[in-house]
């Protein structure tokens, strides 16, 4: 009898576990607040549900429809939803209210907001909107409108702003002269209502650098701080990205799944919406990825008013993270691979004015040294130009030909400014040969100055080589190689043309210093990787590497250091 009661109690306990969802293998619920009613704008989520991507990740995803005038982020703040689709302006406003929402993924990489105006309202060109009636939703689109008006020399006070109706109905009825319309939705609704493209003036804000990040995935900071919830959100992000990627490859099936979710909608309109959306979500490997540059541009637009700028920028701090992409496996895994954030900060540092000045110094000094070698060998003008060109850009050209991709054609062809620098250096060399006495060029002071500037340029070229390899996504071993090629490749080509063995092969640690610099920069950037929201750490890594390479190269010159040469022992023994 006791055994029978024990078995009954055990069965009851197991039943309760199953009933309350505590049994092993139970799907965890993730509630997603949509921006609008069910439609193709959210097709990737429907596809992930229908194809079992969420189920494979152990998730049961529930979608909650939105409506006009409803703040989707309020659902997350109140606990009604775990994830909300929203625009960045609404997220910044929410953070200012104390709702600490964070972007974990960006569905729309390209802004779809357009301003659509009726030509019969007297609007033939953008500036004609002055004094006209303009409708907005007040979900962040009004900030893009404000920035657009300011670019025309107008202000919000120069137009009559009002809240618009759904599907561009105010424009169709004539109650508004202009409305904001999504390229994937309202624009097609306006055409379907009878207005033709020739009757409309359309300005797509993203084409003018005024687009704001739109559909993003937002969660609360506290959810990211909880390991279990964080893991659940990482799996949700992975499955959602896969759903959108699948939709892009299988448009007909995605349409079928979407129409099953919203059977009452016009399939023609939904097809147009889906096809437009798929052009806005980013290419392979970038689905649900928020571009930091786009985020910064959007914040600049949102912070357009001087009295709001400081508060907006403060609210934007820590308003996004890429960490879940890496935790979910969307970015893959590779030894010493840098995060997209660190690569972005590296590119920003190297695109700054002070670093560009260093690269110009390097190109000028390397080129001038080549010109002097041509002068010593009594070459003609063409020979002197070639020996000016090769040290200044030959190493980078070899590097770019090896890297390929975006680096082809090589930088020296893509960027005419570099050729202008080479030409100016060559002409300066010609002028100096005619005007400056040779004894002045032969002085110790001149030689020291050239070596100092050469060392500065060497350090800058080393970092440029590392940056090219990192931005191209090459494995870590190519980073020091690209550093060495960028610094020494041009000199090697010059030596080959002059019929001599490369000087850098003859014992002076030249490429070795560049290789050391590349490895040090890579390791320093690994430290910066731990500080996703602090670009200053990446800048510090660059500056520290510059100083290290400069000092190491200087020590080689001053101390006359030599590296090991094969055959030295045999020569001594002989």
Average pLDDT, the chain: 89
Model confidence at 143, pLDDT cuts 50, 70, 90, reads confident
What band does 20 get if pLDDT is binned at 50, 70 and 90? very low
Q: Residue 182 phi/psi, 5° resolution?
A: -80, 135
Return the pLDDT at 253: 97
The structure tokens listed for 499 are: 């019929």
- % of the chain exceeding 70 in pLDDT: 93
For residue 24, pLDDT beyond 60: no
- Closest Cα partner for 82 from 67, 60, 98, 97? 60
Residue 12 vs residue 293, higher pLDDT: 293
| DSSP H helices in 135-220 | 141-151, 169-173, 186-192
pTM (2 d.p.):
0.83
**260, 246, 249, 244: which is closest to 39 by C-alpha?**
260
In this prediction, residues 555-573 reach a mean pLDDT of: 71
**Order of strands, edge to edge, in the sheet holding 28-33?**
59-64, 28-33, 83-86, 216-220, 101-106
178-204 per-position pLDDT tens digit = 999 999 999 999 999 999 999 999 999
pLDDT at 39 over 60: yes
User: Does the pLDDT of residue 559 top 50, yes or no?
Assistant: yes
Across the range 213-228, mean pLDDT stands at: 96
CA distance 104 to 60: 19
For residue range 434-477, what is the model confidence (pLDDT) as tens digits?
A: 877 777 667 777 778 888 888 888 999 999 999 999 988 888 99
Residue pLDDT, tens place only, 508-538: 788 899 999 999 999 999 999 989 999 999 9
Residues 416-428, mean pLDDT to the nearest whole number: 93
In the structure, what pLDDT confidence band is assigned to residue 210 with cuts at 50, 70 and 90? confident
**Of 387, 460, 395, whose CA–CA distance to 429 is shortest?**
387
What are the phi and psi torsion angles at 137 (to 5°)?
Answer: -95, -20
- Residue 17, pLDDT above cutoff 50: no
Kindly report the number of other CB atoms within 10 A of residue 191's CB atom.
18
Q: Please determine, for residue 571, whether its predicted confidence score (pLDDT) is greater than 60.
A: no
**Tell me: the pLDDT tens digits for 358-371?**
899 999 999 998 89
What pLDDT does residue 275 have?
95
Structural domains of the chain, with CATH? 2-109+214-328 (3.40.190.10), 113-208 (3.40.190.10), 340-568 (no CATH)
Question: Does the pLDDT value for residue 240 go beyond 80?
Answer: yes
Taking 70 as the threshold, does the pLDDT of residue 135 lie above it?
yes
Instruction: Specify the range with the lowest mean pLDDT, choosing from 119-128, 331-340, 547-556.
Output: 331-340
- pLDDT number for residue 561: 81
Q: Residue 142: which of 191, 223, 87 has the closest Cα?
A: 87
- Mean pLDDT value across residues 307-316: 90
Tell me if residue 502 falls in helix, strand or coil: coil
Q: What is the pLDDT of residue 78?
A: 94
- State yes or no: cis peptide before 409, omega within 30 of 0: yes
Amino acid 14: pLDDT? 46
Say if residues 485 and 465 touch (Cβ distance below 8 Å).
Answer: yes
Residue 22: its pLDDT value, please?
41
Least trusted range by pLDDT, from 155-159, 231-235, 405-409: 405-409
Closest CA to 564 of 506, 482, 483, 480: 506
- For 369-392, write each residue's pLDDT tens digit: 889 888 888 899 999 999 999 999
| pLDDT surpassing 60 at residue 4 | no
Helix count and strand count (H, E) for the chain: 27, 10
Judged against a pLDDT cut of 60, whether residue 23 lies above it is answered with no
Q: Are 94 and 45 in contact (CB under 8 A)?
A: no
Q: Which of 12-16, 229-233, 372-376, 555-559 has the lowest mean pLDDT?
A: 12-16
Q: Are 273 and 39 in contact (CB under 8 A)?
A: yes
């Amino acid at each position: 009898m006791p055994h029978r009661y024990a078995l009954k109690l055990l069965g009851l306990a197991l039943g309760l576990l199953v009933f309350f969802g505590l049994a092993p293998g139970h799907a965890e619920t993730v509630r997603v607040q949509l921006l609008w009613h069910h439609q193709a704008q959210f097709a990737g989520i429907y596809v992930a549900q229908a194809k079992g991507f969420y189920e494979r990740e152990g998730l049961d995803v529930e979608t909650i429809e939105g409506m006009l005038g409803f703040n989707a982020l309020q659902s997350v703040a109140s606990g009604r939803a775990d994830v909300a689709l929203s625009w960045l302006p609404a997220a910044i406003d929410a953070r200012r209210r104390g709702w600490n929402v964070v972007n974990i993924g960006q569905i729309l990489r390209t802004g779809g907001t357009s301003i659509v105006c009726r030509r019969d309202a007297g609007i033939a060109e953008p500036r004609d909107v002055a004094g006209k009636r303009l409708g907005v939703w007040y979900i962040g689109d009004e900030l893009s409108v404000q920035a657009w008006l300011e670019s025309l020399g107008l202000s919000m006070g120069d137009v009559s702003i009002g809240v618009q109706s759904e599907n561009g109905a105010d424009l169709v009825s004539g109650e508004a002269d202009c409305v904001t319309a999504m390229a994937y939705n309202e624009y097609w609704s306006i055409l379907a209502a009878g207005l033709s493209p020739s009757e409309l003036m359309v300005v797509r804000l993203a084409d003018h650098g005024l687009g704001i990040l739109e559909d993003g995935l937002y969660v609360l900071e506290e959810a990211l701080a909880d390991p279990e919830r964080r893991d659940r959100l990482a799996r949700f992000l992975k499955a959602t990205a896969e759903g959108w990627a699948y939709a892009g490859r299988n448009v007909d099936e995605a349409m079928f799944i979407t129409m099953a979710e919203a059977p009452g909608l016009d399939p023609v309109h939904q097809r147009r919406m889906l096809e437009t959306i798929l052009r806005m979500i980013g290419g392979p490997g970038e689905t649900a990825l928020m571009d930091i540059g786009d985020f910064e541009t959007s914040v600049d637009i949102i912070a357009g008013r001087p009295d709001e700028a400081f508060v907006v920028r403060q609210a934007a701090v820590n308003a996004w993270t890429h960490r879940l992409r890496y935790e979910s496996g969307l970015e893959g895994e590779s030894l010493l691979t840098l995060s997209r954030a660190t690569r972005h900060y590296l590119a920003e540092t190297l695109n700054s004015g002070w670093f560009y000045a260093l690269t110009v110094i390097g190109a000028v000094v390397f080129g001038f040294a080549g010109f002097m070698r041509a002068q010593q060998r009594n070459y003609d003008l063409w020979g002197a130009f070639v020996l000016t060109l090769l040290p200044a850009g030959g190493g980078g050209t070899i590097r770019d030909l090896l890297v390929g991709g975006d680096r082809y054609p090589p930088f020296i062809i893509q960027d005419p400014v570099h050729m202008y620098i080479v030409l100016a250096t060559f002409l300066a060399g010609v002028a100096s040969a005619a005007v400056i006495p040779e004894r002045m060029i032969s002085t110790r002071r001149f030689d020291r100055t050239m070596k100092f500037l050469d060392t500065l340029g060497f350090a800058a070229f080393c970092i440029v080589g590392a940056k090219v390899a990192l931005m191209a996504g090459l494995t870590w071993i190519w980073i020091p190689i690209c550093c060495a090629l960028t610094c020494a490749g041009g000199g090697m080509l010059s030596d080959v043309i002059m019929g001599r063995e490369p000087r850098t092969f003859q014992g002076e640690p030249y490429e070795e210093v560049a290789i050391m610099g590349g490895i040090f920069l890579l390791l320093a950037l690994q430290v910066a990787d731990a500080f996703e929201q602090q670009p200053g750490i990446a800048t510090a890594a660059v500056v520290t590497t510059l100083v290290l390479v400069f000092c190491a190269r200087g020590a080689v010159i001053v101390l006359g250091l030599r590296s090991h040469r094969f055959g030295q022992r045999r020569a001594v023994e002989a």
